[in-house]
Amino acid sequence: MSVVRTCPGLYCGRTALGDGSWSDCGACPRGYRKNASSYCVECTDEASLYDWQYLGFMVLLPLVLHWFFIDMVTIGKTNTKALHQHFCALLEVVTGTVGALLMLAPTGSLSLYVCTPKALSDWYTLLHNPQPDYKETLHCTQEAVYPLYTIILLVYAFSLLLTVVMRTILLAWLKISVGNKAIYCALYFYPILVLTHTVAAGLIYCAFPYIVIIISMMTSASHFSIKLNQSAPALFVSSVKNFRNLIILVGHWLIHAYGIISLTGFKELWYLTLVPAPALFYILTAQFTDPMKIHND
């Protein structure tokens, strides 16, 4: 390998040509990233635990939204038909995720080769095109975190397609008319998720464990806040005896545990003992925060 001049900027590199020479500085091909010598090398790092946890978080978002809207439109309906839709949503998202993994290197495998993110700027190469000598700009925009950026778009595209096809067939088979509203909701929240990922992917990658923990605490509190009887015994009994409430509570706990594990990486598992803390704190303190009591005082 002949020694060539290094390229300016953080992401401009040189690719090998057929005659043994190297190209001018520019964007590396898809699936490649420049090394310290400005040569474009293939992304062959195995995805880390944190990478998989990030992928899991981005997959959980549409799944939780599916279940939320299905639950909203099927309140008071037959539980069996609602469960069919919940299971169908799970199948849609899982199938879309598996399909995206099989398409990316190594093709046909559920493993994933990545270019490991090293800095927040790796997610926003568009903002780091160099301008040598303040003259012509070198356009080196590329996916420096391949394929952590595009795999989310593939998962959402496949999942939305499966939602439109599979859910429509299921609703026609079960003769459920109200379930169409959940599909319409998916047609709205998937584009919103894509736009959010496009703009804030790097920020989400760095902060998703904290996002999971905060959101799970907020949604857990909102779930309890809609109960008419805010006394501690009533809240506890309704959470244990009502099957729907119990499933929602356990779901919040699982998501909270996921955030803690993503944050600690299985190193401080004793933090998992804090998973029920937000729910217990609300149940024990709700009776002291009644707005009517505050206004009367």
pLDDT digits (tens, 9 = 90+) for 107-126: 999 999 999 999 999 999 99
Q: How many domains does the chain have?
A: 2
Regarding whether 215 and 136 lie in a shared domain, the answer is no
Q: What stretch of H or E contains 157?
A: helix 150-162
Regarding whether 31 and 88 lie in a shared domain, the answer is no
Is position 294 within any domain?
Answer: no
Q: Which of these, 119, 120, 124, 117, lies nearest to 148 by C-alpha position?
A: 117
Is position 217 within any domain?
Answer: yes
Kindly state the percentage of the chain with pLDDT values over 70: 94
Regarding whether 65 and 54 lie in a shared domain, the answer is yes
Q: Helix, strand or coil for residue 221?
A: helix
Regarding whether 231 and 285 lie in a shared domain, the answer is yes
Q: Is pLDDT larger for residue 296 or for residue 155?
A: 155
Is position 57 within any domain?
Answer: yes
Question: Given 103, 128, 143, which residue is the final one in a domain?
Answer: 143
The amino acid occupying position 99 is G
Is position 297 within any domain?
Answer: no
Regarding whether 70 and 20 lie in a shared domain, the answer is no
CA angle 233, 239, 243 (to 5 degrees): 140
Is position 200 within any domain?
Answer: yes
Kindly state the percentage of the chain with pLDDT values over 90: 66
pLDDT digits (tens, 9 = 90+) for 189-215: 999 999 999 999 999 999 999 999 999
Q: Helix, strand or coil for residue 81?
A: helix
Q: Which pLDDT band holds residue 297 (cuts at 50, 70, 90)?
A: low
Mean predicted confidence (pLDDT) in 138-167: 95
The amino acid occupying position 58 is M
Regarding whether 227 and 122 lie in a shared domain, the answer is no
Regarding whether 27 and 161 lie in a shared domain, the answer is no
Regarding whether 135 and 277 lie in a shared domain, the answer is no
pLDDT digits (tens, 9 = 90+) for 50-74: 999 999 999 999 999 999 999 888 7
Regarding whether 128 and 177 lie in a shared domain, the answer is no
Q: What is the pLDDT of residue 1?
A: 44
For all residues of the chain together, what is the average pLDDT? 90
Q: How far is CA 282 from CA 164, 220, 234, in A?
A: 39, 9, 12
CA pair distance 272, 125, nearest whole angstrom: 37
Q: Which of these, 238, 250, 216, 215, lies nearest to 286 by C-alpha position?
A: 238
Regarding whether 161 and 47 lie in a shared domain, the answer is yes
Is position 13 within any domain?
Answer: yes
Regarding whether 155 and 37 lie in a shared domain, the answer is no
Regarding whether 83 and 198 lie in a shared domain, the answer is yes
Residue 53: domain span: 43-112+147-289
For residue 133 the two structure tokens come to 């000598």
Is position 2 within any domain?
Answer: yes
**pTM of the model as a whole:** 0.90
CA pair distance 37, 183, nearest whole angstrom: 50
Q: At what angle do helices 232-241 and 277-285 cross, to 10 degrees?
A: 140
Is position 295 within any domain?
Answer: no
pLDDT digits (tens, 9 = 90+) for 10-44: 999 999 887 878 889 999 999 999 998 899 999 99
